[in-house]
């Protein structure tokens, strides 16, 4: 099945041509078995990244250069007109993190029937390749209470099989980082015409919280969609985890889902720092596995992501963490193959 091209796929086409249910397991994901070519690609990439990590100044300079080419407020004003329309301003968690008009997710239908709303949600379609073997992402903010219905409408319309949540609901300083749009262990939750049910919840040894959710329209004859919700609450805002193990477990779990099922939704609070970091790690490993050695240019990957959502990968620590997680995952893939 061909992957959808970049841009907004037709919700009607997405829902009718793809299966609505995917069987998710809470078991540990199996080790990926590499082909001879994949082993060669991973070995070459690992050598490249290890050598690069020996000269951290080069990596520091890369990120510094990325920071000098950031989108300016005036560019934002020109490129995010729908997000800045008066009817949509209250739907943004942060006024300096807005989706660009050219690749924003468009809801059709949208609970906000006003024409000027234009199906708005603070979410961006992110892609680096038209290959059906490379995941597309939707990078979005942590939903606000009055955008919960919009969020689930997006999941259904774009047939998103996985949600990766890289934040707590409330951080250690008691600041709300994300609304509770998913917890439904006590029975179904309704968001307008959308119903959400939790089938099971598991916590892994790495502190990931896995939820198998079912979401669908209340008055529809179609079976509800199965969605895997992966929450990593221990990833600190603006920071990085103490090791790469949990992030790489997310990667392994998401890799079990065929990329052509639909975009992977990734969010933290603003949907740029931790979100951009995860997307960079995921995308780089995936492209290496298919032999796309342009993936070795992480700075270019981040620049591409930033051209689709402002500020992806926010801090120097997060940028270095990309390199460390990619190296650790390549070592793991190669050792699994060798053993």
Q: Which residues are catalytic?
A: 268
Nearest 5°: phi and psi at 45? -65, -40
> By the 8 A CB rule, do 134 and 128 touch?
yes
- 266-282 b/e (C-beta count within 10 Å ≥ 16 → b): bbbbbbbbbbbbbbbbb
Sign for the pseudo-dihedral over CA of 159, 287, 285, 326: negative
d(CA 296, CA 47): 11
d(CA 267, CA 277): 11
Residue matched to tokens 């669908």: 216
> By the 8 A CB rule, do 195 and 21 touch?
no
| Closest to 82 (Cα-Cα) out of 103, 96, 100 | 100
């Amino acid at each position: 099945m061909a992957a959808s091209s970049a841009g907004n796929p037709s919700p009607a086409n997405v829902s009718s041509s793809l299966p609505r249910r995917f069987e998710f397991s809470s078991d540990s994901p199996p080790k990926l078995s590499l082909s001879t070519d994949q082993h060669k690609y991973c070995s070459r990439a690992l050598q490249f990244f290890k050598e690069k990590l020996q000269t951290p100044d080069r990596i520091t300079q890369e990120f510094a250069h990325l920071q000098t080419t950031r989108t300016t407020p005036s560019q934002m004003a020109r490129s995010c007109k729908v997000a800045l329309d008066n009817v949509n301003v209250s739907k943004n968690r942060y006024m300096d993190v807005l989706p660009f008009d050219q690749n924003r997710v468009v809801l059709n239908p949208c609970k906000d029937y006003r024409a000027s709303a234009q199906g708005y949600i603070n979410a961006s379609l992110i892609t680096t390749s038209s290959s059906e073997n490379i995941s597309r992402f939707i990078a979005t903010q942590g939903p606000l209470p009055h955008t919960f219905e919009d969020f689930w409408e997006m999941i259904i319309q774009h047939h998103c099989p996985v949600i990766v949540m890289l934040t707590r609901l409330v951080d250690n300083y008691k600041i709300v980082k994300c609304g509770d749009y998913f917890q439904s262990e006590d029975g179904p939750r309704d968001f307008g015409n959308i119903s959400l049910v939790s089938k099971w919840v598991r916590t892994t040894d790495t502190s990931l919280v896995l939820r198998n959710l079912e979401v669908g329209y209340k008055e529809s004859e179609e079976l509800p969609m199965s969605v895997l919700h992966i929450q990593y609450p221990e990833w600190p805002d603006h920071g990085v985890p103490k090791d790469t193990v949990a992030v790489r477990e997310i990667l392994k779990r998401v890799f079990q889902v065929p990329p052509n099922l639909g975009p992977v939704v990734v969010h933290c609070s603003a949907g740029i720092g931790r979100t951009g970091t995860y997307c960079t790690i995921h995308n780089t490993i995936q492209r290496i596995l298919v032999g796309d050695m342009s993936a070795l240019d992480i700075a270019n990957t981040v620049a591409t992501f930033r051209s689709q959502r402002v500020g992806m990968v926010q801090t120097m620590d997060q940028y270095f963490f990309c390199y460390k997680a990619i190296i650790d995952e390549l070592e793991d893939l190669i050792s699994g193959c060798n053993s």
